[in-house]
Amino acid sequence: MQVLLHTDFLLNACSGEAVAGGGRLLDLCRQKKVKAWVAASALPAVAGQTRNPSAAGKLQAWLDVAAILPLTGTEIRESLFSPDLGVEESLALRAVRALGLAGIVTLDAAAFGAADVRTFHPDDLPELAEGRAVDSVALIDLPAAYHEFWEDLDRGLAGVVRSGGFILGSRVAELETKIAAYCQCRYAVGVSSGTDALMIALMAAGVGPGDEVVTTPYTFFATLGSIARLGARPVLADIEPASCNIDPDRVAEKIGGKTRAILPVHLYGQCADMDPILDLAKKHKLTVIEDAAQAIGSEYKFKRAGSLGDYGCFSFFPTKNLGGLGDGGMVTTNSEAAADRLRLLRVHGSRPKYHHKIVGGNFRLDALQAAAVAAKLKYLEGWHEKRRQHAATYNRLIGERGLADTLRAPQEIFPRHIYHQYVIRVPERRDELMAFLKQKGVGAEVYYPVPMHLQECFAGLGYRRGDFPESEKAAAETLALPISPELTAEQQEYVVAVIGDFFDKR
């Protein structure tokens, strides 16, 4: 539950005669059962009346658990001339609407008049917060995470805007250094998207017309699309059913005289079985490009995704474990020559400016996205751990509800799985279950309902239904459940209860 602390409440909470519910609410904030926000516009008034050490200490205690929400100049300007509300009330209302908060904690609900906003008295809020029944769970709720990193994000974005340096520059270079270290690589090169990460890595590896790249049919379109856009041919190898990752034995069958590279995908946050793939690449002198868009921080035998092959390709799409505020990506490598070629390719092959050594493209990561990703990076390990805990909770609840024989929970083949998605297998009535979940307010999604060999645009590859039975079976059975770090135990219990109710009614 996320709420805004209004000015009148903060003033009371810092006084010697604070309402009783204030202390209980502070405890709930410390326990993270309630997430509190404070409008930046309220702080000067509060600080001006909390000069004595006791009051200042109480204000600091609240600011330790609350996130400060800045308001735009336009919002402040419009609030100054609000016909129905006071300035502070108008600003509070705008803040609540901007982030979709549950309401405003205030001592004077009447001050908000007929405004369409829920108000809470501090004496009543703790009971409401603790007693709320779960009746919906979003698959992905990006604003729910803002409370944790908002001030880091605000600081980083403001720094970029004020500097005027928006393309590449020091912010991107700093992020590249941090991502390289995080991924246990020597180099990282920021690019414009996860798709472009794949494209530029293939270009750097020299893949072009007439070449073949072995990859999986069970993946997002960008994996094959990047190969095809360079005039190369995707050659497909089926997946292992336990992990939904490419099967190394099937890869071995697909290598031929035109094969230039192998492109394994670390799907759903778990690494593919890389040792056999790397052995094949070494034997046949092939480049290995990891599609690690869903797997930053995942490990294979204690080595990080992106450090195993010649190139590792990552996405900072907003819904990823480490997401930006739009498109962005990164390519990792341990080769100095490869890193230099990637940097050259991302700026149209130009070095120095206006002198083009090779034909590249506009694959640059912008500084605003770099600042956003950097603001979130320090929280990533904590988020991974929460996802892993949620996966363990789901596994336990599924067993306790007697569903283990009806559906299959995901398996962790190679520690560690970072659960970009928690994907169950439902051998029967998958689509009916998804519809029932959504009817009950539970977000669920199928990734990916049509494997790549059956996509219309790849009909020219000559594949037919039945060519990759494990991929086709996965497409018909898999279902992703909510797994974001902000998920609560009560929400997970509700999700599994709804699944149980569905199968009980068979």
The mean-pLDDT minimum among 39-43, 299-303, 419-423 falls in 39-43
Which of 46-60, 92-106, 460-474 ranks highest by mean pLDDT?
460-474
Structural tokens at position 77:
């300007």
What confidence category does residue 130 fall into, taking pLDDT thresholds of 50, 70 and 90?
Answer: low
**Confidence at residue 14, expressed as pLDDT on a 0 to 100 scale:** 85
What confidence category does residue 125 fall into, taking pLDDT thresholds of 50, 70 and 90?
Answer: confident
Which of 14-28, 75-89, 319-333 ranks highest by mean pLDDT?
319-333
**Confidence at residue 459, expressed as pLDDT on a 0 to 100 scale:** 96
Nearest to 205 by CA among 111, 288, 282: 288
What confidence category does residue 314 fall into, taking pLDDT thresholds of 50, 70 and 90?
Answer: very high
Q: For 455-483, what is each residue's pLDDT tens digit?
A: 999 999 999 999 999 999 999 999 999 99
Q: For 217-238, what is each residue's pLDDT tens digit?
A: 999 999 999 999 999 999 999 9
**Confidence at residue 342, expressed as pLDDT on a 0 to 100 scale:** 98
**Confidence at residue 15, expressed as pLDDT on a 0 to 100 scale:** 80
The three-state secondary structure class of 21 is helix
Mean pLDDT score of the chain: 93
The mean-pLDDT minimum among 9-23, 137-151, 229-243, 379-393 falls in 9-23
Q: Give the separation between CA 497 and CA 440, rounded to whole angstroms.
A: 11
**Confidence at residue 344, expressed as pLDDT on a 0 to 100 scale:** 97
Mean pLDDT in residue range 62-80: 87
C-beta neighbour count of 500 within 10 angstroms: 17
CA dihedral sign, ordered 324, 485, 218, 499: negative
The mean-pLDDT minimum among 7-11, 131-135, 302-306, 344-348 falls in 131-135
**DSSP assignment of 68-136:** EE---HHHHHHHHT-SSS-HHHHHHHHHHHHHT-SEEE-S-GGGGTT-S--EE-TTTHHHHHHHPPP--
Please give the domain boundaries of the chain with CATH numbers for all domains: 2-132 (3.40.50.1010), 149-377 (3.40.640.10), 380-504 (3.90.1150.10)
**Confidence at residue 143, expressed as pLDDT on a 0 to 100 scale:** 85
Tokens 């959504």 identify what position?
438
**Confidence at residue 288, expressed as pLDDT on a 0 to 100 scale:** 98
**Confidence at residue 48, expressed as pLDDT on a 0 to 100 scale:** 75
Mean pLDDT in residue range 431-442: 96
Bridge partners, residue 167, by sequence: 366
